[in-house]
């Protein structure tokens, strides 16, 4: 999700700010999947007879198959008021790390390019953005030298907690500790969500804070037997602890950074599924829920014409080869 005015799930960008949300069904399990990049907006009145603040929300669907679209809402004009909400499906732990890694890396790479480009024309603005990324981390925090904050505000939401809470306790422990480390390393907030009204109210408060600058919540819950809720800057590596693996096994893992070490530990318990994201993504044009008879008939006709053109072209090229 991308939010301007301040997006695996539920993720969304105002004169007051923009937000981008990467969605993988945050709340309702029967919600229709997001098609590519969807846009909506929200408004909030500041007072009587005063202009309303507007937040622009961009929601990216398709998992990791449509990463190129992240460049549409994130530009040099929107970046200074932009936030990212990444929603991950807790019920699919084997997909969690690759989805999170690919989405965050692609987004970070694009933001870095935008900041670099901005620096060529407005070095002051680019410098302010680089300094702003540290705003979520208190100056006296013991981990300031050990983390690498995300370039813009980031919130990670773990969806489908109602399914996740029935997982084996040891598996829950690994997932919770891993997500806490990733969120803390990137200077992000972390929270779990489900259909519970209490959790939805908390999420709504976080979105309002990003979009309209409402006071940030200072509440925290790090109990792995409860839905995690950790505001950026309130966690620590000391409280998170080391990767959940026997001490004698850590030395056997070849890793060049703390992030890579946590990845290896996580994927040892939850090996990623080797699925081609392009093949895994269904063609929306062939989805029955979007059926429209007139459009579908025209599409079928055009598909038939395309196939005829392909066969005709193939014959033509074969003939050219024979003639030569």
Closest CA to 100 of 200, 3, 4, 179: 179
Q: What is the pLDDT of residue 251?
A: 65
Q: What is the pLDDT of residue 11?
A: 33
Instruction: Supply the DSSP string of 63-118, one letter for each residue.
Output: TTTTGGGGGTT--TTTGGGEEEEEEEETT-HHHHHHHHHHHHHHHHHHHHHHHHHH
Residues recorded for the chain: 324
DSSP state letter for 150: -
pLDDT in tens, 138-196: 889 999 999 999 999 999 999 999 999 999 999 999 999 999 999 999 999 999 998 88
33: pLDDT confidence band, cut at 50, 70 and 90? low
- For the whole model, what pTM was predicted? 0.75
pLDDT in tens, 51-99: 788 888 888 876 677 788 888 889 888 888 899 999 999 999 999 999 9
What percent of the chain shows pLDDT beyond 90? Answer: 37
pLDDT at 113 over 90: yes
pLDDT in tens, 206-217: 888 888 877 666
């Amino acid at each position: 999700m991308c939010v301007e005015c301040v997006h695996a799930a539920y993720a969304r960008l105002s004169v007051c700010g923009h937000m981008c949300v990467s969605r993988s069904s945050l709340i309702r399990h029967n919600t229709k999947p997001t098609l590519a990049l969807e846009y909506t907006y929200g408004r909030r009145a500041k007072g009587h007879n005063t202009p309303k603040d507007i937040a622009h929300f961009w929601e990216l669907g398709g998992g990791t198959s449509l990463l190129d679209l992240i460049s549409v809402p994130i530009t040099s004009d929107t970046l200074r008021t932009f936030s990212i909400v990444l929603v991950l499906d807790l019920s699919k732990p084997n997909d969690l790390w690759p989805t999170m890694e690919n989405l965050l890396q692609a987004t970070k790479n694009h933001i870095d390019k935008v900041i670099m480009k901005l620096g060529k024309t407005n070095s002051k603005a680019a410098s302010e953005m680089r300094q702003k990324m540290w705003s979520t981390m208190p100056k006296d925090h013991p981990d300031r030298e050990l983390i690498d904050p995300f370039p813009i505000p980031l919130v990670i939401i773990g969806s489908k907690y109602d399914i996740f809470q029935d997982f084996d306790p040891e598996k829950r422990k690994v997932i919770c500790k891993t997500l806490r480390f990733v969120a803390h390393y990137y200077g992000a907030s972390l929270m779990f969500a489900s259909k519970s009204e209490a959790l939805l109210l908390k999420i709504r408060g976080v979105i309002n804070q990003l979009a309209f600058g409402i006071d940030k919540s200072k509440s925290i819950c790090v109990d792995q037997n409860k839905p995690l809720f950790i505001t950026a800057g309130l966690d620590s590596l000391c409280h998170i602890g080391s990767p959940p693996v026997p001490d004698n096994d850590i030395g056997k893992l070849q890793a060049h950074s703390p992030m890579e070490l946590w990845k290896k530990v996580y994927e040892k318990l939850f090996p990623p599924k080797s699925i081609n994201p392009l093949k895994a993504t269904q063609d929306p044009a062939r989805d029955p829920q979007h059926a429209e008879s007139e459009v579908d008939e025209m599409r079928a006709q055009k598909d038939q014409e395309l196939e005829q053109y392909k066969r005709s072209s193939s014959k033509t090229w074969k003939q050219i080869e024979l003639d030569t």
